[in-house]
Structure 1
Amino acid sequence: MQDESGFFVKRESYDNFRFIFENNCSCDAGPMMSALKEVVNDNDIAFDIGANIGITSMWMSKISKQVYAFEPEAKNLSRLKHNIHINGIENVRIIEKAVTFESATVCLNLYESYGHHSLSTSHLSTPKGRVSVDAVSLSDFCRAEDINKIDLIKIDVEGFEYEVLLGAEELLATNSIKFIVFEHSPALLRKQGRDMSQVIDLLFKYGYTIYRLNHEQINRVDVARLGQEDLYAVARSH
């Protein structure tokens, strides 16, 4: 299938075709990509954390010189590689690892939906098993790759966004990450027993300004009214 960005995406029988046809977009990141197409562009380096089958990675490839796509699950990796290949994309480097607060071997919990695999043992989706995968922190990865600045990061890791950002505190403290897009899922966070403001408080700590996709700025008191949605944060120096 050709998606709304013009890329071809290999589809499987277990994909959510109802969502695709009812919403006229290739995945649940479609509204985010549409809303931010005029906000984020001309990036040197972009990270797609939780790259899944590569739809956001391919979108990033059009607006970035170099994309690093992090995905640890084998079937998703196979589809990610295939989608990058059939579209002739050459500026996406696939990193076969999860991202969390430390570099280690971790347990990835597999769920019924291929978009719900998570380091968390608790999810709204039905569990299907678990596998051991390699993980890396963003600070360790950037140090090893000599990356000093990231223009754009998308984080969709099914409730583990906070741990991803904990592993990037060195970068956050110096505002070396310009633009961060992340999923906010109240139902999932409640299921996991998490504080709804955990991620937002960490970003506020380092001086980031946070917006909804309609570009409405939010404060901590606004968290209670947020639904299932993507938010984006902008470094204070930009």
Structure 2
Amino acid sequence: MDTELSLTREARRIRRDKGFSRLVVRALIFLLKELQLVYYKFADWYAGRMVSSPLAIGYTALYNVSPVIENTPAFSFWYELDSPHIHHRVLGEYETEVVEELIANLDEQDDFWEVGAGWGYHSLLLSESINRAVAFDPDESRTELLRRSIDRNDFDNISIVEESVLSLDDYVDQFGTPNVVLMDIDGWEYEVLPSSEELLNTDCTWIIELHHDVDVQAAEGRSPEEIEDLFQDYGYNVTRIREHYQQSWPGRKLDELNTHHIVASR
């Protein structure tokens, strides 16, 4: 009995020590992320990219973005500091292959739809080069920052649709037929695209980000090739661009494909 009681106490102590260790690790990770955030804020402010004060409280900031692609105008951009790919966006280096495709397929009289727009990076970047942009996103906090960016830049040709999209056909009567649709909706393209038959039967060019690691896709037996086949069934030519791979640490590219974009055009 004494031996069993001693083992029980030892097991409790081990569990307690493991729990404490996990808390310490989580606290250190949180602290490192906060220190990294402070570093980036001051570095961007010093370089003239951050308009807001680096001492401002909160997780949003105003940036001046100068895209690295030639002849692409600079713009101001409100953004959440703890969001993914922040530095690539701030430096104007975000999805350069995608931006090049957008520029190649859009003229000043054309209309552009950004589905899954988030903070509206692509709509803001293209605003001065096209007729109109429509940014779709259901996240109220992100669309509010996009509104602030639109006001800051004094753009009058970006419309916002703050709702989840079920079919893009529902918006053709309101906004007309777009010339280019950019879509990044984390797996929901499997629901939205098949229900957008009217738009699929136009000469619109589509640029879609497809994910290889979405749990719902795996559970339902779906794959990115299903979307590629859908466009081909509608008579589109489909090419792949911007393949992005999983990384175990910065600088190392692994064989496991994480996301890629397709361009579907006629």
What's the TM-score once normalised by structure 2's chain length?
A: 0.61
Gaps spanning 5+ residues in structure 2: where? 1-62, 68-72, 243-255
**Residue matched to 2:111:** 45
The residue correspondences of 1:189-204 to structure 2 (distance < 5 A) are 189-190=217-218, 193-204=221-232
Structure 1 residues 170 and 35: CA distance shift in structure 2, 3 A = closer
Look up the match of 2:64: 2
C-alpha distance 13-140 of structure 1, shift in aligned 2 (>3 A): closer
Which stretches in structure 1 are left out of the alignment for 5+ residues? 101-136, 215-224
Q: Deviations over 1:6-61 (max 9, x none)?
A: 111123331346x615994364x343113542343335221111110111111232
CA shift in 2, pair 1:164/1:10, >3 Å: same
Residue 150 of structure 2: SS of its match in structure 1?
A: helix
Determine if the alignment matches structure 1 residue 56 to structure 2 residue 122: yes
- Give the alignment of 1:150-165 within 5 angstroms: 150-165=178-193
Q: Deviations over 1:186-205 (max 9, x none)?
A: 12243664233121111111
Change (3 A) 1:162 1:22: closer
Where do 4+ consecutive residues of structure 1 move more than 6 Å? Answer: none
Aligned counterparts of 1:12 and 1:23: Cα–Cα separation in 2: 11
Q: Take 1:24 and 1:191, find their aligned partners in 2: how far apart are those partners?
A: 37
**Equivalent of 2:210, from 160, 184, 206?**
184
Judged with a 3 Å threshold, the aligned counterparts in structure 2 of structure 1 residues 226 and 232 are, in CA distance, closer, same or farther, namely farther
Q: Name the residue aligned to 1:212.
A: 240
Of the three residues 154, 167, 170, the one matched with 1:140 is: 170
Q: TM-score, normalised by structure 1?
A: 0.67
1:72 match: secondary structure: coil
Deviations 1:111-130 (A, max 9, x none): xxxxxxxxxxxxxxxxxxxx
Identity fraction in percent: 24
> Within the alignment, does 1:79 sit opposite 2:145 as a pair?
yes
Flag the structure with more relative contact order, 1 or 2, with Cα contacts below 8 A and sequence separation at least 6.
Answer: 1
Task: Answer 1 or 2: which has greater strand percent.
Answer: 1
Larger radius of gyration: 2
CA distance in 1, matches of 2:89, 2:122: 20
The structure-2 alpha-carbon separation of the partners of 1:22 and 1:49, relative to structure 1 and needing over 3 Å to count, comes to: closer
Contact 2:135–2:159, Cα closer than 8 Å, also in 1:
yes
